[in-house]
Structure 1
Amino acid sequence: MQIDIDIEDARWEALGLEALAERAAAAVAQEFGLAPEMCELSLLGCSDARIAELNDEFRDKPRPTNVLSWPAEERGTEKAGAAPEAPQPDIFGAITLGDIAIAVETCEREAAEQGKPVADHVTHLLVHGLLHLMGYDHIRDEDAALMEGIEIRILEQMGIVNPYE
């Protein structure tokens, strides 16, 4: 998968964000039968301060969060619990998924609070963000159950324990 990574906070280098993103993206592509070489996304590895600005600007929530995503196109479904349509290549053969931002301090804090490796937590959040780019959401209970089930399956295939237990 072509991933345009912008690392604004050097702590992401130490955590190996690029390798984690490549692994998560490959697993999501495999889950949905997408050719990884056709898929494109942008990833911002940032600080809590930066993600708080983005969260305020795009969601009117002036506080840090762990991950934000901006799908390239709306793929969601009206029917609760239904899977969105898979993304299709454009006329050039590319599948542009969208953009993800992830905050280092929040990820480290949450991993510590949950007693799990930071790399596993970051991988989960990247998979979560990628599923948002694919049109999945968790606002309605039925949609959350579907999305979480897919996350669990993907992470299990990656050797990462169920993050919801």
Structure 2
Amino acid sequence: MEPRSSQTRVEPDGVPRKTPAAGLAAGLPPSVLRDGPECEVIIADARWHGVVPGVAALVRRTALAAWAGTGPAAVTIALDNDRTIRRLNARHRDRNKPTNVLTFEYPGDYPGEHAGGPTGGDIMIALETVRREAQAAGRPIRHHLAHLVVHGILHLRGHDHHQAGEARRMEMAEARILGRLSVPNPWKYRAGIAGGEQ
């Protein structure tokens, strides 16, 4: 199963936001940050630190690069575990199993919305599922994590993959963004995962 967006609009629940200035430390040029989102990375499961060294900086840099040029928004990326993601997947998508990434778009009237553009949202990523998928595909976990961050951001930017044409456009956008971050094209690894990504 490919990563899926929940397509559920939820209210943000009081998570503090930071400015994209933190992206300067991640090596992004000011031109990218000027129009980028406020990006908060929450490490909800501390095991992420041992699995992906420098994980917060990697996720922030990837998210800001994926958002580049689409205008300001607030994005929170929570790195959690299968148990939490399974509970959210059951609640919001009626699927009582973990998945790799869930994307929740903020409502259109969220403060900070700009005319005609995405408002941002929350992206949740499950540690054990990401680790299993990366291992099955023979990819470094940090590359698979970067792919899922880009995937979630593209959902917030309006991309989807429910039909073949839109799925192909989304895959090409993912490959372009990841290429700029020196991450190999994830779709070249597809054959390594039976039935696609879980």
> TM tier, shorter chain?
0.7 to 0.9
SS at match of 1:98: strand
Equivalent in the alignment of 1:79: none
Equivalent in the alignment of 1:12: 48
Q: Verify: 1:114 aligned to 2:152, yes or no.
A: no
1:40–1:95 Cα contact (<8 Å) kept: no
Q: Equivalences for 1:101-140 in 2 at 5 Å?
A: 101-140=124-163
Q: Distance in 2 between matches of 1:119 and 1:73?
A: 30
Q: Equivalences for 1:139-150 in 2 at 5 Å?
A: 139-150=162-173
SS at match of 1:102: strand
1:7–1:45 Cα contact (<8 Å) kept: yes
Q: Distance in 2 between matches of 1:104 and 1:115?
A: 16
SS at match of 1:164: helix
Q: Distance in 2 between matches of 1:73 and 1:8?
A: 24
After TM superposition, the score normalised by the length of structure 1 is 0.80
After TM superposition, the score normalised by the length of structure 2 is 0.68
> What does the per-residue CA deviation read over 1:93-148, in whole Å, with 9 as the maximum and x for residues that have no partner?
x9631010000011111111111110000000000000011111000111101111
Equivalent in the alignment of 1:160: 183
Using the aligned pairs only, state the percent identity: 39
Q: Distance in 2 between matches of 1:119 and 1:42?
A: 18
Point out where structure 1 has 5 or more consecutive residues left out of the alignment: 75-88
Equivalent in the alignment of 1:52: 86
2:118–2:157 Cα contact (<8 Å) kept: no
Query: Could you say which structure has the higher strand fraction?
Result: 1
Point out where structure 2 has 5 or more consecutive residues left out of the alignment: 1-19, 21-37, 189-198
Q: How many residues align?
A: 146
Q: Distance in 1 between matches of 2:143 and 2:79?
A: 16
Q: Distance in 2 between matches of 1:136 and 1:116?
A: 24
2:40–2:60 Cα contact (<8 Å) kept: no
Letter of the 1:56 counterpart = A
Q: Verify: 1:25 aligned to 2:63, yes or no.
A: yes
Q: Distance in 1 between matches of 2:184 and 2:78?
A: 25
Letter of the 2:55 counterpart = L
Q: Distance in 2 between matches of 1:47 and 1:64?
A: 9
Across the aligned residues of Structure 1 and Structure 2, the Cα RMSD in angstroms comes to 2.1
Q: Distance in 1 between matches of 2:119 and 2:75?
A: 6
Structure 1 residue 20 displacement after superposition: 1.8
